[in-house]
Amino acid sequence: MPKKCDGFTMVELLVSLSIWFILISLLLPHWTIVALERENKKQESIARQVFYEQMIRTDFIYSKEVIRQGRTFLVSFTGNELCVRWTDLLERQKERCGYKFQ
């Protein structure tokens, strides 16, 4: 074993830091997209809950807004079709529709 083991050199430190920086800069955008999609799934779950609550109601309001957990859902009823519409965090229009039989 050599007697002079002083540790890392400055070049080794800079190389390792640059590798870490490249890895983090590649993974960070993907992590934010995953976080947004998780929130969108929560929004979709709330919309599904609003949809089923409106399906079991007996009074028919043809168009109204329902606000749940700070999110706005537009509920519309035309003919026998009930639709819930909302905009997700990526500004995409989403819709859940189904038929309501009496």
pLDDT digits (tens, 9 = 90+) for 30-67: 999 999 999 999 999 999 999 888 888 767 678 888 88
82 in any annotated domain: yes
Give the pTM: 0.67
Tokens 């909302």: give the residue: 86
4: in domain: no
The boundaries of the domain holding residue 39 are: 10-99
Q: How many domains does the chain have?
A: 1
Distance CA 34, CA 53 (A): 29
74: helix, coil or strand? Answer: strand
Is 92 among the domain residues? yes
Instruction: Name the strands in the sheet holding 81-87, side by side, starting at the edge strand that comes first in the sequence.
Output: 63-68, 71-78, 81-87, 93-99
How confident is the model over 2-36, as pLDDT tens digits? 666 677 788 888 999 999 999 999 999 899 999 99
* Residue 1 is assigned to a structural domain of this protein: no
Q: Is residue 79 part of a domain?
A: yes
